A and B are shown apart, each in its own frame.
Chain A
Amino acid sequence: MTRSRLTPGGVLLAALLVIASCGSDSASGTTTAASATSAASATSAAATTTAAAGSTAAGVTTTPAGSGTAPGGGAYSWLMVTDQAGLGDQGFNDLADAGIKQAASEIGGTAQAIESTEQAQYVPNLTQAVDDGASMTVGVGFLITDAMVEVATANPKAKFVMIDAVAADSAGTPLTNVASVTFKENEGAYLAGIIAGKTTKSNKVGFVGGLEIPPVVRFLKGFEAGMKSVNPSATLDTAYVGGFDDPAKTKELAAGYYDAGADIVFEVAGAGGLGAYEEAKGRGPGHWVIGTDTCKDQLAPANFLTSATKDVSGAVVKEAHAVADGTFKGGSVSLGLADNAVGVCQKTFPSLPADVQSAVNDASKAIAGGSITVPAE
């Protein structure tokens, strides 16, 4: 008797677990779809070239081309290793992915992203990229730095690009086979801050960061300075999610700001930032969101104000061309407004009021020219 009652219970448990696993499966499906859309929207040129071709032969790096045109069609292999947020973050992972795809279409060869799900996978993923004969391997995010240093030191002939951190040896000297690219996020955020300061009606603005790490702090400080420069009475509240992949928490924090009377939320929360758009969308027009890295207007067209952008894909494409031209140089470089590597979302910029546009343009020239120095910390 007990047995016949227990068996359906076991079946139910099994069914629940199957449903649960299906749930996570469909969730991952959505992520892939999102990454596809954002990659397509981030670059116009890249859409056609994907990693459909077979993997390339070894020995690619020994024959650098004399010019930007590809010598042997599919000879180049552009690889990247994502950080834990993976593709679909609408941030630097997707941007770097768009960058290698654009490199493949402009220079030739194949592009492929290897996704990491945990800290322990950075070293094997980077090593796999080198073993596959990558012409250049892009590593994204500050968490991959140690792994990048380890693999780049073990493979001095391979070429790497490090985004958002500096890969340095134990003495602090940047490695010569890694192009370490960091951005002056504060300069782009300054411009976004001007837009926020001129747009806010309640004079209350909220900031949601992922983790309190240097790039995020640069966004915050630049934004605050920009906002205060045009609207000294506006106040900025700050809060951190504790990670870059938690939309629920981001949504909650954004809701808290709106409830407290803020009309603009600036999110620097990585893939988790999606939560802020969802919250704003639910509340309707007048609740603005300012994004990071890319234009995210498609997430909430009526609520998207602007983005403090970061041209990660442009930097990747530039390094790819340097590899193809034989002019690749390692070391550390920091890109800002003067390099046209940071800024605000150009797609929605023309729809802003004329006085806001001119204030942004003036500040942009002043920063690039050096007459305004934007605080970074």
Chain B
Amino acid sequence: MLRIGLFVVTVIGALVAAAPLIAIAGSNPLSAYRALLQGSLGSRRGLAETLIAATPLLTCGLAVAVSFQGGLFNIGVEGQLVIGGLIAGAIGAEVSLPAGIHVVVAILGAALGGALWALVPALLKAFRGVHEVITTIMLNYVAFSVSTYLVSPGGPLVSKTQPSATEKVKATAHLARIWQPTRLHLGVVVAIGLCAACWFFLYRTTAGYRLRMVGANPTAAQFNGINVRGVVVRTMCLSGALAGCAGAIEVLGLHGRYFDSFSPGYGFDSIAVALLGMMNPLGVAAAAAFFGMLRAGSVLLQAKAKVSKDMVTVISGLVVAFVAARVVLERRLESSASRRDRRRRDG
């Protein structure tokens, strides 16, 4: 209950704080928010676009949340996502398989690729104590350069007609569109399924409990007979696999081919999503939906309310600022609650 309240306070706080900025930029904040709301929820297409925009944020947000619950900060989600998207695009375009199997193979291949991309930092962390923030960030650049090379002119995967992209994914590997005439695709169902699975795994299985225990206190976990190294490696790979899935969903569901520039930084934005969602899969889903609304609504924001698209970036930034401020608020609430408890006990 408290958590839902904090979520709502954070979001509303950011929107209120952004209002004077919109006014300074020369627009009416109320009509801007009306356009945002109308653009994201007011029509069939808007609603579909909100879900489409939320899908990669949700899947990547889960990747961040899972690693964080295990005490790891995976900043390499973006690179793992790119690798996943590239593998899905390559399998989708270059391999021939029956319908149904093809799409599953492409997604699993992407998940495997993402997991392998996370394996190196995981092993370095578990056995050499190298901080995962450094290694995952560095591997991002490796991923960007490798993928750019593969689809550069003369690269092995580049399309004949479209620069900086692979050939179109074959129809057998497409994630079907599920709500004509919008472009909403099966990927949103996959993402929601992954979200439910992550929640179940973290809170209803022994392995998930171990993961959270290592995250909460690795020393205590070790003394309780948990193989901390094994958990660290598995957590990081799981996080990478989720990120790889996110890339596959975008490529197979939305773009129909791997574009070198398909991700505007979903992997980085998802850190904000996971923070707003308090690292809980259900919270991440709510946060992804909110950020999805901002993205989808930004079209009407520009077209109708004549507000710069950058205002959406400003609101997102304010949300992050309020998330940070929330930590302070949370402590206040906790300390006042414990003081009340003490007084009750003492008195």
A residues near B (Cβ < 8 Å) are 3, 6-7, 10-11, 13-14, 17-18, 20-21, 24-25, 28, 31-32, 51, 55, 84, 86, 112, 114-115, 117-121, 123-125, 127-129, 132, 142-143, 145-146, 154, 211-214, 217, 242-243
Tell whether A211 pairs with B296 under 8 Å between CB atoms, given A3-B335, A14-B321, A119-B262.
no
Can you list 13 contacts pairing A with B, beta carbon distance less than 8 Å? A3-B335, A21-B321, A24-B313, A25-B310, A25-B313, A32-B310, A84-B264, A112-B303, A120-B254, A121-B299, A127-B45, A142-B162, A213-B164
Task: Name which residue of chain A comes closest to B328, CB basis.
Answer: A10
List the interface of chain B (C-beta within 8 A of A). Answer: 21, 45, 49, 52-53, 144-145, 148, 152-153, 162-164, 181, 183, 250, 254-257, 259, 261-264, 295-296, 298-300, 302-304, 306, 308-310, 313-314, 317-318, 320-321, 324-325, 327-328, 331, 335
A375 to B226 CA separation, bound complex (whole angstroms): 67
Further pairs besides A7-B328, A84-B264, A114-B302: 8, Cβ < 8 Å: A32-B310, A55-B303, A84-B261, A121-B299, A124-B45, A129-B303, A211-B152, A213-B164
CB distance from B92 to the nearest CB of A (A): 14
Contact of A146 among B145, B256, B328, B331 (CB under 8 A): B256
Q: With A25-B310, A84-B261, A120-B52 in contact, do A128 and B163 touch (Cβ < 8 Å)?
A: no
**Across the interface, do A25 and B314 meet the contact criterion of CB distance under 8 Å?**
yes
**A51/B321 contact (C-beta < 8 A), A24-B313, A146-B255, A217-B153 known:** no
Residues of B near A213 (CB, < 8 A) are: 153, 163-164
Q: Check if B335 sits within 8 Å of A146, measured CB to CB.
A: no
Q: Which residues of B contact A55 (CB under 8 A)?
A: 303-304
* Alpha-carbon gap, A14 to B164, bound state (A): 39
Establish whether residues A17 and B255, one from each chain, have CB atoms under 8 Å apart when the complex forms: no
A11 to B331, CA, bound (A): 12
Secondary structure of the B contact surface, majority rule? helix
Q: Which of B162, B261, B300 lies in contact with A145, CB distance below 8 A?
A: B162
Q: How far is the CA of A142 from the CA of B259 in the complex (A)?
A: 11
Chain A interface helix/strand/loop/mixed: helix
Residues of B within 8 A of A11 (CB): 325, 328
Query: Known contacts A6-B331, A142-B162, A142-B163; is A128 also within 8 Å of B300 by CB?
Result: yes
Contacts of B250 in A (CB 8 A): 120
A21 touches B317 (CB 8 A): yes
Residue in B closest to A12 when the chains form the complex, CB atoms: B324
Known contacts A127-B45, A242-B148: A119-B255 contact under CB 8 Å: yes
Closest beta carbon of chain B to A25's beta carbon, Å: 5
Q: Are A128 and B299 in contact, with the CB atoms below 8 A?
A: yes
- Docked-complex contact B255 and A10, CB < 8 angstroms: no
Contact, CB under 8 Å: B254 / A211? no
Q: Contacts A25-B314, A120-B52 known; A146 to B257 CB distance under 8 Å?
A: yes
B162's nearest neighbour on chain A, judged by CB, is A145
When the two chains form their complex, are residues A143 and B261 in contact, meaning their CB atoms are under 8 A apart? yes
Chain A residue contacts of B328, Cβ below 8 A: 7, 10-11, 14
Given the interface pairs A21-B318, A114-B299, the reply to whether A143 lies near B259 with Cβ below 8 Å is yes
A275: min CB distance to chain B, Å:
19
Inter-subunit contact A24/B152 (CB<8 Å): no
Query: B306, A115: Cβ atoms under 8 Å?
Result: no
For B320, what are the chain A residues with a Cβ–Cβ distance below 8 Å?
A: 17, 21
If A124-B299, A146-B257, A211-B164 touch, whether A51 touches B152 (CB-CB below 8 Å) is: no
Instruction: Give the CA-CA distance A53 to B259 in the complex, in Å.
Output: 37
Compute how far the CA of A133 lies from the CA of B183 in the bound complex, rounded to whole angstroms. Answer: 21
Most buried by B among A21, A25, A86: A21
Instruction: Flag if B255 contacts A28 (CB, 8 Å).
Output: no
- Nearest chain-A residue to B266 (Cβ)? A118
Contact, CB under 8 Å: A10 / B331: yes
Looking at the assembled complex, report how far the CB atom of B315 sits from the nearest CB atom of chain A, in whole angstroms.
Answer: 10
Closest to A125 in B: B299
Q: Are B321 and A28 in contact (CB under 8 A)?
A: no
| Chain B residues near A123 (CB-CB < 8 A) | 183
**Chain A residues whose CB sits within 8 angstroms of the CB of B148 once the complex forms:** 242
Kindly report which residue of chain A lies nearest to residue B304, judged by CB atoms. Answer: A55
Asked if residues A10 and B324 are in contact (CB atoms below 8 Å), the reply is: yes
Q: Determine the residue in chain B with the shortest Cβ distance to A18.
A: B321
Partner of A14, one of B256, B309, B324: B324
Minimum CB–CB distance from B44 to chain A (whole Å) comes to 12
In the assembled complex, how far is the CB of residue B179 from the closest CB belonging to chain A, in whole angstroms?
Answer: 14
- Give the top 3 A-B pairs by smallest Cβ distance, nearest first: A21-B317, A118-B264, A28-B310
- Residues in A whose Cβ lies below 8 Å from that of B264: 84, 117-120
Enumerate chain A residues within 8 angstroms of B49, measured Cβ to Cβ: 124
A196 to B257, CA, bound (A): 40
Q: How far is the CB of B7 from chain A (nearest CB, A)?
A: 17
Of chain A, the residue at the smallest CB distance from B56 is A120
- Are B324 and A13 within 8 A (Cβ)? yes
B256 / chain A contacts, CB cutoff of 8 Å: 146
B57 CB to nearest chain A CB (Å): 11
CA distance A217 to B154 in the complex (A): 13
CA distance A31 to B222 in the complex (A): 52
* Chain B residue contacts of A154, Cβ below 8 A: 181
Residues of A near B257 (CB, < 8 A) are 146
- Please, how many angstroms separate the alpha-carbon atoms of A124 and B182 in the complex? 10
Asked whether A212 lies within 8 Å of B310 as measured between CB atoms, the reply is no
Query: Which residues from B are CB-within-8-Å of A24?
Result: 313-314, 317
With A21-B321, A117-B309, A211-B152 already in contact, the answer to whether A10 and B299 are too (CB < 8 A) is no
Query: Judging by beta carbons under 8 Å apart, are B153 and A10 in contact?
Result: no
Compute how far the CA of A25 lies from the CA of B317 in the bound complex, rounded to whole angstroms: 9
